[in-house]
Amino acid sequence: MKAFVAVALLAVLAGCASKGKSDAEIYTEAAKAHVATLPAGQGKFSFPSTKILSHGLIGDNLAIAAGGGANAAQLKQALLMAKVGGDSGFLIIGAATSLDVAVIKNAVDELDLKGLRIYYAGGESQKDDVRSAVEKAQAQFQYISVQ
């Protein structure tokens, strides 16, 4: 009986830990989606991206308390460089935690990102908060599922 319970528990846990898309798969999907929004005949384009890394429960909570900390500052700089560089798309691969919202909200706060389409790949539960922050910065938002 114990063996049956253990096997059932392992099966459930394995299902919970199922891996979603790789970063490369997410990038490819977002890049294809972005190409579809470009004017006909546009041959070359740059599609910068960044990844928000989780630092574990304690580290993430400390970063959230600091408004996203260094991650927000780095993302803000990358977004500004993309805008100045004439890029029309930018991919943010999130950690699928509340850290994503803190980092993105603070990075785009008071920025004018009009003309930039931001693709967010992260947690479904963070999607609406990220959309709100991105649209407040006058950028277009598109969600990419990580599953």
Q: Per residue in 55-74, pLDDT tens? A: 888 888 888 888 888 899 99
Single-letter amino acid code for the residue at 130: V
Report which DSSP code applies to 36.
T
What is the per-residue pLDDT for 118?
98
Domain boundaries 19-144, CATH class: alpha beta
Q: What is the mean pLDDT of the chain?
A: 87
- The helix/strand/coil state of 90 is strand
Average of per-residue pLDDT across 39-52 = 88
pLDDT one-digit tens code per residue, 131-145: 999 999 999 999 999
Distance between CA atoms of residues 25 and 34, nearest Å: 14
- The helix/strand/coil state of 87 is coil
What are the strands of the beta sheet with 49-51, ordered from one edge?
49-51, 89-93, 117-121, 140-144
CB 119 within 8 A of CB 89: yes
What is the per-residue pLDDT for 7?
39
For 143, phi then psi, to 5°, come to -95, 135
Distance between CA atoms of residues 127 and 147, nearest Å: 14
Nearest to 96 by CA among 69, 129, 74: 129
Average of per-residue pLDDT across 34-45 = 85
**Domain boundary assignment for the chain:** 19-144
What is the per-residue pLDDT for 15?
45
At residue 18 the predicted structure's pLDDT band, cuts being 50, 70 and 90, is low
pLDDT one-digit tens code per residue, 92-112: 999 989 999 999 999 999 999
Residue 51 tokens, joined: 């990844």
